[in-house]
Amino acid sequence: MASLNPISGALGSQKAAHLLRRATLGPKLQDISTFSGMTAQAAITALTQTQAIPALPIDPMSGSDWVYPNTVNTNQNAETLSNYTRSWWMENMRSAGPNLTERMIWFYHTHFPMIMSRIEGNPQFAIDYSRLLRFYALGNYKDLVKAICIDNAMLVHLDGNLNIKGVPQENFAREFLELYTVGKGDEVSLGNYTNFTEQDVQALTKALTGWGIDTSYQTMDAVTNLPTGKVKGSATTSSQHDVSSKQFSGAFSNTLIQTGSITGTNAAVTAVYTELNDVIDMVFASPHTAKHICRRLYREFVYYNITPEVETDIIEPLANTLVSNNYDITSVLEVLFQSEHFYDLDTPITEDNNIGAIIKSPMDLVIGTMRLFNLTVPDKTTQLAAHYELYDQLIGQLDLQGLQFFEPYDVAGYEPYYQFPDYHRYWISSNYLANRYKFSELLISGFTGMSGVLLKLDVVEFVDTNCSNPGDATILVQELVSWLFPMTIDSTRFNYFRDTVLLDQLPASNWTTEWNNYVNTSSDVNVRLQLEALITAMMQTPEYQLF
């Protein structure tokens, strides 16, 4: 039986590593050690501490960011700024401490996906979108959804700024219901998707008419202090809001929403904001909204397959928790990350295990590897050109592995996060897998650019610094297995890494001698070759692709 009962006692290294692999973009070894001594409750408290807001990205041409009141350098093209934004986001992930914030920003990006090329004509929009996700990363889901409705980037991305009275544009309303809130259930009749109907799409579209983008960045949200879209018209009167009645179906209790203040054929600006609040309240009153986001959280943090048992024992109680806490998202994560189910303690060890069952996204693989090995990158303050040069190559690595970062093919987002029935299995194809394996080789040989080596894994330094007894082949491989793999491996697999790869079928004493020679002489040629072969072999395994 799937159980949300909380676990007790110190986490220990295996459970701490599991929590950090799922709740962050990858643990550092020191993080695993620190969290091992914590209870699950203490760990969640640590993971949800308020984080400092990262400094904005810098354009080398101007030496400043391009967020208002700063302006875009006239000689800089938008595509380059888009890549700087991607680089900035990835560096935020890499450099973050052990905290849920960056993982939740990434989760929300996959849930409220954004196609960069649609919005890069206004380069600040992508940054504001990211800043909005950060503000609500551990906050109120309902408030985030309302803010997304009038976010400048989203208004462009899903054509909300084209939705005016007399010329309805349904794109955003449809995705709002199907992807962001109630979700699409079974089609029980023509135009009736159980949780909403075509009538609801049309009514919601009318309720959301009349919003436009604000490229002057003068319309600010009072809560987030971030720029938003604005109501088209004058300071007091909307010129493009549909003031007719909005009749919703039985899926929303036949709710009728009407514009509150009308002069002639135009609504007051305040009435347009009120109408937005009304539709948000209506949609979040549906029990399907809480269940839908809890299913998305479950697929992100536990496993993609939601069985009837999981639906009853996990999803429904989590949804109840979310509703009773007024859609505070952390309330759900606190329960989930302390549960027996999350740590595979509610079923026999051979059944329904989720530890090591999710295929890493390319972002998890690239950023997680950099964090695991504690790799440094060119400093963005003193080596900005090299910093961007490295991340440009890493963005290319994501692309080769099947993730076009900030450029999903579909408005629904990246297929592995939503496409039934395979979900994360979409990350693996013969080409994608080969490029994942190639990444490990590039990391060891080093990423290079105009200014020399940009990123390189020094395996000797890593082992020397972190392993408790590098001269003992068994201890060395045991520790590497625990750090690189989410699950234990059998003796045959273990012996392969130790005896075949590391020792090359020579006695273990031979490795001890070579390591001691390195310690005594600082000549690492022999141990480096063997360690590079070992770590490459371990990263080029199915086990390393999982978390």
Q: Quick check: is 348 in a domain?
A: no
Q: Quick check: is 291 in a domain?
A: no
Last residue of a domain, one of 285, 310, 345: 285
Q: Quick check: is 155 in a domain?
A: yes
Q: Which residue has the tokens 């914590």?
A: 38
Q: Quick check: is 243 in a domain?
A: yes
Distances (CA, A) of 500 to 208, 357, 464, 518: 64, 27, 21, 21
pLDDT tens-place values along the chain, 547 residues long: 899 999 999 999 999 999 999 999 999 999 999 999 999 999 999 999 999 999 999 999 999 999 999 999 999 999 999 999 999 999 999 999 999 999 999 999 999 999 999 999 999 999 999 999 999 999 999 999 999 999 999 999 999 999 999 999 999 999 999 999 999 999 999 999 999 999 999 999 999 999 999 999 999 999 999 999 999 999 999 999 999 999 999 999 999 999 999 999 999 999 999 999 999 999 999 999 999 999 999 999 999 999 999 999 999 999 999 999 999 999 999 999 999 999 999 877 656 689 999 999 999 999 999 999 999 999 999 999 999 999 999 999 999 999 999 999 999 999 999 999 999 999 999 999 999 999 999 999 999 999 899 999 999 999 999 999 999 999 999 999 999 999 999 999 999 999 999 999 999 999 999 999 999 999 999 999 999 999 999 999 999 999 9
Q: Quick check: is 540 in a domain?
A: yes
> Hey, is 498 helix, strand or coil?
helix
Q: Is the peptide bond before 69 cis (omega within 30 degrees of 0)?
A: yes
Q: Quick check: is 403 in a domain?
A: no
Q: How far apart are CA 269 and CA 473, in angstroms?
A: 71
Q: Quick check: is 533 in a domain?
A: yes
Q: Which of 316, 543, 61 is nearest to 306 (CA)?
A: 316
Strand partners, 233: 238
Last residue of a domain, one of 227, 260, 285: 285
Q: Which domain holds residue 486?
A: 460-545
Q: Quick check: is 418 in a domain?
A: no
Last residue of a domain, one of 243, 258, 285: 285
Considering its fold, how many domains does the chain have in total? 2
